[in-house]
Amino acid sequence: MKRVLSWLMIGLITILFANCKKYLDIPSDKRMVIISNLEDLQSLLDAFNQINFVDPGAGEASADNNFLTDAAWQSLGEYDRSMYIWSDRNVIVPYSVYSGNIWATCYNIIYRANTVLFHIARMEKTIENEDQYNNIKGQAHFLRAKSYLQMAWIWCLSYDSTSKNTDLGLPLRLTPDFNEPSTRSTLDETYSQIIDDFIMAVQLLPREAIHRIRPGKGAAFGYLSRCYLSMRKYTEAGLYADSCLQIHSELMDFNTDIPNPNANYPIPQLNAEVVYFARMATPSVLSYGSVDTILYNSYDEMDLRKKTFFRDVEGRKVFRGSYNQNAIPFTGLATDEMYLTLAECLVRRGDVQLALKSFNELMITRWDKDDFSTTITESPSEALELILKERRKELLYRDLRWMDIKRLNKENYNIILSRMVNDKVYTLAPNDPKFALAIPEDIISRSNIIQNPR
């Protein structure tokens, strides 16, 4: 008995030792996995709540499409009030105090993209997985570029080839290593990175994604066009807008494609024009704001957008024309923008008739069909003025206006922003350094990166 028991003990301990490694090798949480295959990477990019639904709205909130009543402004939080009056500081909420720090949400997308790029470089590309491999890699490049582009519009000055090497760009983080210190690149380096990433995306992405919540080649072309437009490189911008339209050219006809024009949100989500679906994390300045009165009055009565886009609230006009079919502004890419970009770029190149063809193709879908007449002109300046006017009327609340103001002021359009709160007038002069918003103060104190000059 004694011996039997001793052997039993020895046996037990041996078994324990022998199986230890295996016994302890199983994961502690079944839902938790170490990234090992392409599906894991795709799942990181499919998290639409963190990828598609958090586009920053600080630019739109700082632009001139929207205004707040005194009462509404007073009822907002301090950071929102600062954002509205272009304050020198405290425009973005600190990360630790409230949620909704857009610097963090943009960099989170970049981190996901970097994680995907880091891991995919260590995975084997085979004949079987090539399409999926390229697709995922392309999505990561696309998302990284898109985030940097949106951030550059908010926190950098408008691109200017004369000062591109001295103007401050963004901290460019290209690996998932969180230990790397942040330093601000030049504006040229930032835009070069964005273009490189979009070009990679164009090469890698499939012509059309399985769903428009994922980018396809068309989306990459479209964003590339946006990027060049904001750099005022109109040839490239026009070229890529055209490339996008080669893939997606469909337009909604407001005469027929709006099922119920009296609905709160009449424009269907994921309609024919949407190339890439994204929406804004709406800042309070926008959610409690009303549409600029002059802008509203500039819509013709025969312009179907006037009643489709706006709703009356106690005498003020509120925007309801989001392609998201709710109060949250659509900030993805749609074909209407591409038609307008193409038209603008063509006219700037001097090709007025081709530009007007593209322009009219869009306008006919926006106008009461019984009243529509084709716009005809020979004058490039008149055509450009017309196109830019319609651009503002078509693309309001798309987070494009801030960028448009910045680039147009570089071309002496002299758009002066002005807001009145409690009888006090705040103005933002063209090319004011405050067109690059204050970087959140807490990130400055943590990383010691340079704050935008005030």
Partner 1 sequence: MKFSTGCYTHTRENRVLSLLYNLRLLNNRKILRMMKLAILLTILTTLKAWSHSVGQTFSISVKNAPIEKVLAQIKKQSDYRFIYTREELKAALPVTLHVENASLAAVLQSCFNQQPLDYSLDGRYIIITRKTPASDTTRMLPRITGIITGPDGAPVVGATVSIDGSSKITVTDEQGRFTLESIPAGSILLVSSVGYEAIRYPVAFDAEISLRLNIQVEELSNVNIEVNTGFQELPKERATGSFTHIDNKLLNEQVSTDVLSRLEHIVNGLSVNRKISTSGQISIRGLSTIRGPKDPLIIVDNFPYAGDLNNINPNNIESITILKDAAAASIWGARAGNGVIVITTKKGKFNQPFRVELNSNVTIASKPNLGYLKQMSASDLIDVEQMLFEKGFYNNRESNITRPPLSAVVETLIAQRDGLIDGATGTARINALRNRDVRDDFNRLIYQPAVNQQYALNARGGSGNMAYAFNVGWDKNISELAERYQRINIGSDNTFALVKNLRIHAGIQYTQSNTTSGKPGYYAIPWPGYSALPPYTSLTEPLYHYRAPYIDTAGDGKLLDWKYYPTDDWQHSRGESKLQDILLNTGISYTAFKGLTADVKYQFEQQQTTGRTLHDLESFYARDLINTYSEVNDGVISYGIPRGAVLGLSHGSITSHNLRGQLNFNHTWNSHSLAAIVGAETREIRNSSSGNTIYGYNDDILTYAPVDFVNLKPTFITGWENFIPDGISLNETINRFVSFYGNTAYTFKERYTLSASARRDASNLFGVSTNNKWRPLWSAGASWELSKEAFYNSTFLPYLRLRATHGYSGNVDPSMSAVTAIQYDVTSRYTSSPISRITNFYNPSLRWEKIRMSNVGIDFRMLGNRIGGSIEYYKKIGTDLYGLEPIDYSAGLGTETITKNIASMHGYGWDIEINSINTTGAVEWLTHFNVNLYKDKIIKNFNRNQQGRSYITGSGLLSISGLENKPVYSMLSYPWAGLEPSTGNPQGYVNKEISTDYNELTGSSVTVDDLVYSGPIMPTIYGNIGNTVKYKGLSLTIRITYKAGYYFRRSSINYRSLYASYAGHAEYAARWQKPGDELSTHVPSMIYPVPANRDDFYYGADVSVEKGDHIRIQYFNFSYSMGEKLLRKMALQNFQCYIQSNNIGIIWRKNRKGIDPDYSDNSILPGRTISVGIKAGF
Return the residues of window 87-116 that contact partner 1 according to CB under 8 A. 89-90, 95-96, 101, 103-104, 107-112, 114-115
The residue range among 12-20, 188-196, 340-348, 356-364 that interacts with partner 1, by the rule CB under 8 A, is 12-20
Binding mask 372-411 for partner 1 (x = CB under 8 A): ----------------------------------------
Q: What part of residues 285-304 is at the interface with partner 1 (CB under 8 A)? A: 288
The residue among 234, 141, 244 whose CA lies nearest residue 195 is 141
Q: What part of residues 48-77 is at the interface with partner 1 (CB under 8 A)? A: 48-50, 69-72, 74-77
Is residue 160 close enough to count as binding partner 1 by CB under 8 A?
Answer: no
* Amino acid at position 227, single letter: C
Distance of CA 275 to CAs 244, 258, 383, Å? 9, 18, 26
Characterize the bridge pairing of strands 310-313 and 168-171.
unpaired
Q: What part of residues 180-199 is at the interface with partner 1 (CB under 8 A)? A: 180-182
Residue 334, classed as helix, strand or coil, is strand
Binding mask 236-275 for partner 1 (x = CB under 8 A): ---------------------------xxx---x------
Candidate list 18, 20, 416, 450; residue touching partner 1; CB under 8 A: 20
The residue among 64, 61, 70, 66 whose CA lies nearest residue 91 is 61
Residue 93, classed as helix, strand or coil, is coil
Report the distance separating Cα 334 and Cα 272, nearest Å: 9
The residue range among 44-52, 133-141, 232-240, 372-380 that interacts with partner 1, by the rule CB under 8 A, is 44-52
Q: Please report how close the Cβ of residue 5 comes to partner 1 at its closest, in angstroms.
A: 5
Q: What is the DSSP letter of 55?
A: B
Q: What part of residues 123-152 is at the interface with partner 1 (CB under 8 A)? A: none
Quick one: 42 or 377, whose CB is closer to partner 1?
42
Is residue 211 close enough to count as binding partner 1 by CB under 8 A?
Answer: yes
Q: What part of residues 340-369 is at the interface with partner 1 (CB under 8 A)? A: none
Structure tokens at 301: 């009565």
> Could you give the angle at which helices 217-230 and 234-247 cross, rounded to 10 degrees?
160
Q: Please report how close the Cβ of residue 135 comes to partner 1 at its closest, in angstroms.
A: 12
Candidate list 164, 173, 366, 407; residue touching partner 1; CB under 8 A: 173
Quick one: 47 or 376, whose CB is closer to partner 1?
47
Structure tokens at 228: 């060049």
Return left, alpha or beta for 412; rule: phi > 0 is left, psi -120 to 50 is alpha, else beta: left
Candidate list 37, 43, 418, 427; residue touching partner 1; CB under 8 A: 43
Q: Please report how close the Cβ of residue 215 comes to partner 1 at its closest, in angstroms.
A: 12
How many other C-beta atoms lie within 10 A of the C-beta of residue 236?
16
Interior CA angle at 258 toward 253 and 260, to 5°? Answer: 160
Candidate list 34, 121, 127, 425; residue touching partner 1; CB under 8 A: 34
Q: How many residues bind partner 1 (CB under 8 A)?
A: 88
The residue range among 192-200, 206-214, 344-352, 405-413 that interacts with partner 1, by the rule CB under 8 A, is 206-214
Is residue 424 close enough to count as binding partner 1 by CB under 8 A?
Answer: no
Q: Please report how close the Cβ of residue 288 comes to partner 1 at its closest, in angstroms.
A: 5
The residue among 63, 57, 61, 75 whose CA lies nearest residue 150 is 57
Q: Please report how close the Cβ of residue 134 comes to partner 1 at its closest, in angstroms.
A: 17
Candidate list 59, 138, 169, 171; residue touching partner 1; CB under 8 A: 171
Report the distance separating Cα 269 and Cα 231, nearest Å: 30
Residue 252 neighbours by CB under 8 Å, 6+ apart: 258, 267, 271, 272, 273, 365
| Whether the Cβ atoms of residue 356 and residue 383 lie closer than 8 Å to each other | yes
Quick one: 354 or 421, whose CB is closer to partner 1?
421
Binding mask 304-323 for partner 1 (x = CB under 8 A): ---------xx---------
The residue among 435, 320, 338 whose CA lies nearest residue 387 is 338
Q: Please report how close the Cβ of residue 109 comes to partner 1 at its closest, in angstroms.
A: 7
Distance of CA 117 to CAs 25, 122, 139, 247, 426, Å? 27, 9, 10, 26, 44
